[in-house]
Structure 1
Amino acid sequence: MLEVMPGIIRRELMLSWRRRSVTLGALMFFIVASSLFPLAIGTEAKTLQMIAPGVLWVTALFAAMLSAGQLFGSDYASGALEQMLLSPLPLPAIVFGKIVAHWLTSGLALVLLVPVVALQYALDWRATLYLMGTLLLGTPLLSLIGSMGAALTLGVRGGGVVLALLVLPLYVPVLIFGVSAADLAGVPGRMQASFSLLGAALCVGAWLCPWASAAALRIAME
């Protein structure tokens, strides 16, 4: 599995660059949506600092969901997905490589944009680092969960709506733990527990989601 991963990730990154309008659209949504709240609420620093973790996490969640639908859609339309199913390479390894590439082009990019967006919420460097840390743990989990939804809705008419209905309930615990871990005004013990729960959920998701997505792809292609 480790031998085939670099080639799969390299291929997916090249394809993502060719379809960069989807990735850029999700990143622009994150920036624009998170920038609307300071304009609507006002310039009160304490209020902005209080709502910043929740707002940035929700907008990151929706941005990840917008791009998750493209994980397997283009391969399904071009017929490449059928070749992947027939390939001697293990399908969970291929799926995991696609998920890693998706996170590098969407989740990691969102994390790197946080310091720019945080300026609008009057966050200091410590709060910004905490927020980036939670998103660094949480966005891979969003990509992993989104891959299962994308595989289950492959080829379904109105798949975007069905995808949202499937993954949003699974995103809720990630959202709760992520916001709680980034809340510096909360109880310190709860912050550490939320970080630990995010890390544990990421470990479980990295092991389980590729296999579940691979099984869903086989069912969708039958």
Structure 2
Amino acid sequence: HGAMASCGGRARCLLLLSSWLHSAGSLRVPAVSAVPRVQHRAGAPRCSDPVTSPFEASASNGGETLTGPLPLTAENVDAVLDEMRPYLMADGGNVAVAEIDGGVVRLELQGACGSCASSAMTMKMGLERGLREKIPEIIAVEQVAPDGPQLTEDGIEGVLEEIRPFLKMAGGDVELVELIETGVAPSCTLRISGSGSTINSVRAEIAQRLKRNFPSLANVMWDAEGP
């Protein structure tokens, strides 16, 4: 039941972000001189007061939303994110601006948003789309990792090495097929060999262990050739 509730929360968050993207408004942000590279990792993100319902947040500002196109500045990125934050916060999450480097905006999902399995979808379909619609100068929006080790093939292999002895006792093995460590949703593809309930049940443990070790890893996928 807990997993079902969690999935429902993620779906609700994405639906709320989608409804925000389809809303129209007239509030404009004054242009500010562009900043080529800005870092915002000193502390908690600048955001509006927590709200229990995104609809209350919408009512409090009279239903007005920012109207693009806006210049790419730190202030405007935060202003657009402020419109979306209540939708994330209603589901126990938040977002912080980590860095603006040229036309690339790097964000850190926090709280429930950073740890849930739908974080990549929230970033891609919600935040990235919303930012690029209002600020066309943005070339890409990337998700940055919370504090933790760098995602590398050697790091993945190190975690798999801890699991292989158990798998081999059950007549199986696991190997890294592909690692995509950059972009909005870093992912790895694994291939597991062997058969039986033990081999199948260990998949979830492998995925959880990898994500605990590498917070930036959004997805663990399984090669179709596996059992």
Provide the TM-score with structure 2 as the length reference: 0.28
Higher share in strand: 2
Which one scores higher on RCO, CA 8 angstroms, separation ≥ 6? Answer: 1
